Amino acid sequence: MSLPFDSSDPELRLVLRHVRLQALTPTSVLVNLATAVVCSLAINPSLRDISNSYPTPLNGSFSLLSTYALMVFVLLIGYCILLMMTKKRETRETAVHGVGIRLVILQWVMAANIVAFTLQWFLVSLVLVSISLAFLIWIQITLYMYPSHQSRPFDIVFIHAPLKLLLILTFLQTFPQTLFVILGWYRDKNREQDYDAFSWHAVAFIVSFNTAGLVEVALRRDFVWTVAGTLIEIAQLIHKPKASNVRVANLIFVILYPVILIAVILWERFKKSNEGQIRLSDDEVERHEVARARAHANRVSGE
């Protein structure tokens, strides 16, 4: 029995996949949000208690990181609304091909990771957070093929921004902190005098991971990474107690992120200004040569 429509039609397939995302994405985002709220506020020990029970040198201010996560959830809810409301083909293509069903899977995996960490199943948590990081990197790679544009500001705010914010949070905070717990690189919570334990391990992670972030900022003038990276480094910086070498590493990148972004922007403006001056000089030379040619022609005709 033949279908009453052509299932091979690219436009129809885009619409059907978009409708599937409209149904599945809000559910997955709300499940992840509900899991985070319940594990943070409604059970004992809470997510915060577990984090404080394993004080690694990379632990950050729970309040600031929670505010960061809440901002991400607000933007993801905006993404769900955008999925429902948009009529632009470019936005649909970005949502379907640039993000797709991977965000749905990612939200379920992240919810499972919150549960695993709260239950102190740290090896399971590390596997789940690694899967989350792989999905986020995969999504970012495909989103590079569907770049944001000033004519579609909602795409920038509700598609590109929250997914990059999630990537940075996972890359700079969740993954390394969970790895430190698995490796036993944390101090006894009852011995604050041992706050400098494994501090150089933390410095190595901070420097290597944030250097990768600075490369992204420098190559792409990435404002989102600048803000997010700075916030996460501030969250780690203000968490106490903290070894001085770890604080210095955090502080260096709190300074470097905005400095690198501003330097790249100024450098590009300087280059454009120089190119404009070169073009202007070329035009002046050409006009001078034309004037000389005309003067020579006039002298010849006068003779």
Residue 138: Cβ within 10 Å count: 13
User: What is the distance between the alpha carbons of residues 125 and 275, in angstroms, rounded to a whole number?
Assistant: 52
The CA R_g of the chain, rounded to the nearest whole Å, is 26
pLDDT computed for residue 148 by the predictor: 80
What's the one-letter identity of residue 302? Answer: G
pLDDT computed for residue 15 by the predictor: 83
User: Angle between the 244-302 and 223-238 helix axes, to the nearest 10 degrees?
Assistant: 160
User: What is the distance between the alpha carbons of residues 31 and 141, in angstroms, rounded to a whole number?
Assistant: 26
pLDDT computed for residue 176 by the predictor: 95
pLDDT computed for residue 268 by the predictor: 87
pLDDT tens for 217-275 read 999 999 999 999 999 999 999 998 889 999 999 999 999 999 999 999 999 888 877 76
Helix (H) or strand (E) holding 218: helix 199-220
Q: How many residues does the chain have?
A: 303
Q: Where are the beta strands (DSSP E) in the chain?
A: none
User: What is the distance between the alpha carbons of residues 140 and 136, in angstroms, rounded to a whole number?
Assistant: 6
Q: What is the pTM assigned to this prediction?
A: 0.86
pLDDT tens for 38-75 read 999 999 999 999 999 999 999 999 999 999 999 999 99
Residues of the chain above pLDDT 90, percent: 69
* 60 class by beta-carbon count within 10 Å (0-12 exposed, 13-18 middle, 19+ buried): buried
Q: What is the mean pLDDT of the chain?
A: 88
Cis peptide before 241 (omega within 30 of 0): yes
Contact (Cβ atoms closer than 8 angstroms) between residue 25 and residue 99 = no
Closest Cα to residue 245, out of 187, 205, 210? 205
103 to each of 96, 159, 180, how far by Cα in Å? 10, 11, 27
- pLDDT: which is higher, 200 or 151: 200
The first and second tokens of residue 104, run together, are 């749905």
Closest Cα to residue 189, out of 62, 54, 50? 54
Q: Where are the beta strands (DSSP E) in 57-166?
A: none
- Residue 281 confidence class, pLDDT cut points 50, 70, 90: low
Indicate if the pLDDT at residue 294 is higher than 80.
no
Residue that has been written with the tokens 């803000």 in this structure: 227
172 to each of 153, 159, 233, 276, how far by Cα in Å? 27, 20, 9, 40
pLDDT tens for 11-47 read 778 888 889 999 999 999 999 999 999 999 999 999 9
Contact (Cβ atoms closer than 8 angstroms) between residue 220 and residue 177 = no
Closest Cα to residue 106, out of 54, 174, 58? 174
